[in-house]
Amino acid sequence: MATMQLQDILFSQGFGTRRVCAGLVQQGLVAVAGVTCDDPAMEFIAEGLRFSVQGVDWEYHEKAYLMLHKPAGYECSQKPSTYPSIYTLLPAPIRQRGGGAAAGVQAVGRLDQDTTGLLLLSDDGKFIHRMSSPKHHVPKVYEVRAKHPVDDAQIRKLLAGVVLDDDPRPVRAAACEKSGENDLSLTLTEGKYHQVKRMIAAVGNRVEDVGGLHRARIGSLSLPDDLKPGQWRWLTAADLASIAARG
């Protein structure tokens, strides 16, 4: 396997410019396998490398694939207008990976500020495109709390297709089932602006303003019960395979 200089490993993982990364090493703030390193040019096999910076443990990832449990009251924007950005929930190195103007991870699609649930982030452009493109039909499951009781006629309309004001072609739910008097589980395979809210409105109901919309699953990957709002974690190889699964 190819090796990389320690300063380049730190740079690729978002710990600052190469000069800053070299300085971290020279100051004795970086350890590999528990051993402090003071030579920025020391070479290591990067893949799977575990190291610590200023006492915080990290693992090398050539590309970043993360899940975040998005809480309410956050915008999926680097330049939020009203609410804080979801990116403030991530450690600085993840926000700075790779350096340059396009540094850091990007959200795979967006959730409204009042929508909660599973959000994926990555710095892999091909992955972002594949997961967000409607051509790939990756199913996304939303738990919806409606303002008024949900009836069978509304379910039938959502499955048959409703017309939104920006497209004459009907938009259909891939799956839809009632889970409570005012609750339903809605599966979509494309992502239009405010799509769930507009589809519910099109059948004569509306999504509750507070706690009304939660994304529970992408592909076959569900939001873990132990990942609390505002928390994030790396995706595993099994997670990535699960996302790609259909249905």
The catalytic residues are: 112
**Closest to 115 measured CA to CA, from 138, 155, 142:** 142
**Closest to 23 measured CA to CA, from 12, 11, 35:** 11
